[in-house]
Amino acid sequence: MVLKRDAKKSKPKRKKFSSFSTREAYEQLDLKNLLTWKQTNEPVIASDYFQERMARLQKHFDISSGKGSKQLLIDAVCEEALGGFDDLKIWKGMSLETHTTEGIVDYLIADHKGYLDTPLLICIVEAKKDDFEQGLDECLAILHACQWQNQQVGRSFDLFGIVSNGDAWVFYKLTPDRQAYETATYGLTSLKLLLGWLKYILEISQANLTQIPA
């Protein structure tokens, strides 16, 4: 796969994304603090199909506990948000590595191809056991890896990350000069605002696909 380079060489020991502490995640990006990300996005009304699907999930599935249960909600929301973004595709459980880090990413959004390729645009990290702090540490480490991978092919633009347990969603932005921004928490109870944020970052990400490499 294109994201694994120099496969024939002996691999140095790489740190797993899931093992990053807050301090390690911040230091890797040379961050002192996260900046507050505030803006007004146009609310998006969910489709009837989405409302029906959510009703079925809540009726027939345990979506409050258990391994993988929260991913049902994340999948449903992402599927709804991606409607109309024909150039984008979600990849689940894909491996990603740099010269110093590696791991499996819950969700990656990239170009709609038959294989995962750079540029990488958005990562989504499931907040396992509702641990958003650990989810943030992992998300920052993955954003750093995505930025590094993109730089290898001359791509440099804002990257987006999300930490979610299916019900609550927090959005992150990493700029080329490594400024990191964090939003407030948005939930299914404020679905129009949540979908508005997703539409906003998907629009930017799809536009970034046409950026000419440096």
pLDDT of residue 67: 67
Q: What is the CA radius of gyration of the chain?
A: 17
pLDDT for 1 equals 43
The count of domains in the chain is 1
**Is 53 among the domain residues?**
yes
- The answer to whether residue 101 sits within a structural domain is yes
Evaluate whether residue 7 is within a structural domain.
no
Write phi, then psi, for 116 (nearest 5 degrees).
-75, 130
Task: Give kind and range of the element (H or E) at residue 92.
Answer: strand 88-97
Distance CA 29, CA 20 (A): 12
Query: Which two structure tokens, joined as six digits, stand for 4?
Result: 């694994």
> What is the reported pLDDT for 3?
60
Over residues 151-194, the pLDDT tens digits come to 999 999 999 999 999 999 999 999 999 999 999 999 999 999 99
- pLDDT tens digits, one per residue of 112-131: 999 999 999 999 999 999 99
Residue 56 lies in a domain: yes
Pick the closest to residue 195 from 91, 64, 83, 72 (CA basis).
Answer: 83
Domain of residue 83, CATH code: 3.90.1570
pLDDT at 91: 97
- Domain-embedded: residue 66: yes
Domain interval for residue 144: 44-208
User: 162, 175, 160, 174: which is closest to 206 by C-alpha?
Assistant: 160
Residue 182 lies in a domain: yes
One digit per residue, the tens of pLDDT, for the chain of length 214 reads 446 555 555 566 899 999 999 999 999 999 999 999 999 999 999 999 999 999 999 888 888 776 678 899 999 999 999 999 999 999 999 999 999 999 999 999 999 999 999 999 999 999 999 999 999 999 999 999 999 999 999 999 999 999 999 999 999 999 999 999 999 999 999 999 999 999 999 999 999 998 877 6
Residue at 133 is within a domain: yes
Q: What are phi and psi of 124, to 5 degrees?
A: -125, 130
Is 151 a domain residue? Answer: yes
Question: What is the spatial distance between Cα 74 and Cα 124, in angstroms, rounded to a whole number?
Answer: 9
Find out whether 111 and 89 touch, Cβ atoms under 8 Å: yes
CA pair distance 1, 120, nearest whole angstrom = 14
